[in-house]
Amino acid sequence: AQKITQTQPGMFVQEKEAVTLDCTYDTSDPSYGLFWYKQPSSGEMIFLIYQGSYDQQNATEGRYSLNFQKARKSANLVISASQLGDSAMYFCAMRVISSGSARQLTFGSGTQLTVLP
Amino acid sequence: EPEVTQTPSHQVTQMGQEVILRCVPISNHLYFYWYRQILGQKVEFLVSFYNNEISEKSEIFDDQFSVERPDGSNFTLKIRSTKLEDSAMYFCACSASWDTQYFGPGTRLTVL
């Protein structure tokens, strides 16, 4: 079974500063993908970034980067130059990609990020 | 940019009533999913659907739930006899293959 752990229920960051949201995962499958989603107060789930288990480089998407440390089973999200609009709940998720497995995402409990002006 | 749409945005129903939640996935995506999120909790997988049949379902997806792709564009989740504990945000998602799942805006279901 897969498990995602997000140990920070809430985080605060000053506008324009960088912030790291932690995510650790547990799986015995060698092939998996890690995702981060943003959920603003309006409720929708917005895809931010993806990292495959065999990717050699850390994923980046604009101000988002994923600090992937495979040996430690961690996939932390780094947001650079925080903006007020970044205030939201952030979910880390994983799915295994091995043959015959389901495509379902397993989510962590989320981190509520508040960006302070 | 293509997006997933869901209707209604909010559904209020009486306990024991049937509800149908509707989703229009991204047009060239082949895999469809329903997830739910009880207020303040994590997002939970309900069911995945591919090639007009269920691929996998979670323990939550019991006989009260069903999914259907009636016309090649819509993807529906039916709850036959709603319970108070079915109150949650229900998300539809889709993916082109095994990669990123794109979520709809959700339907907030309130069971009274």
CB B7 within 8 A of CB B106: no
Nearest CA in chain B to A34: B100
> Among residues A35, A5, A36, A45, which one has the least CA distance to residue A95?
A35
Q: Under DSSP, is residue A6 helix (H, G, I), strand (E, B) or coil?
A: coil
CA distance A36 to A22: 11
CA distance A40 to A89: 6
Nearest CA in chain B to A93: B43
CB A45 within 8 A of CB A28: no
Q: B20-32: string of b/e by CB count within 10 Å (b at 16+)? A: ebbbbbbeebebb
Model pLDDT, residue A102? 60
- Give yes or no for A50 touching B (CB within 8 A): yes
* A32 to A106, B32, B45, B60, B71: CA distances (angstroms): 11, 19, 17, 24, 33
CB A67 within 8 A of CB A58: yes
- Give yes or no for A53 touching B (CB within 8 A): no
**Residue B51, min C-alpha distance to chain A (Å):** 14
Nearest CA in chain A to B6: A44
In chain B, residues 24-83 whose CB comes closer than 8 Å to chain A = 31, 33, 35, 41-45, 48, 55-56, 58
- Give yes or no for A102 touching B (CB within 8 A): yes
Separation of first and last alpha carbons in chain B: 37
Please name the member of B42, B45, B104 whose beta carbon is closest to the beta carbon of A108.
Answer: B42
Cβ distance of A102 and B56 shorter than 8 Å: yes
Digit-coded pLDDT (tens) for A71-97: 999 999 999 999 999 999 999 999 987
Digit-coded pLDDT (tens) for A23-69: 999 998 888 999 999 999 988 899 999 999 999 899 999 999 999 99
Digit-coded pLDDT (tens) for B38-75: 998 899 999 999 888 998 899 999 999 999 998 878 99
Separation of first and last alpha carbons in chain A: 41
* B11 to A75, B20, B78, B111: CA distances (angstroms): 36, 9, 13, 8
- Give yes or no for A43 touching B (CB within 8 A): yes
Lookup result for tokens 């739930």: B65
Lookup result for tokens 């293959």: B97
Digit-coded pLDDT (tens) for B69-103: 988 789 999 999 999 999 999 999 999 876 789 99
Model pLDDT, residue A116? 97
The runs of H, that is alpha helices, within A1-117 are none
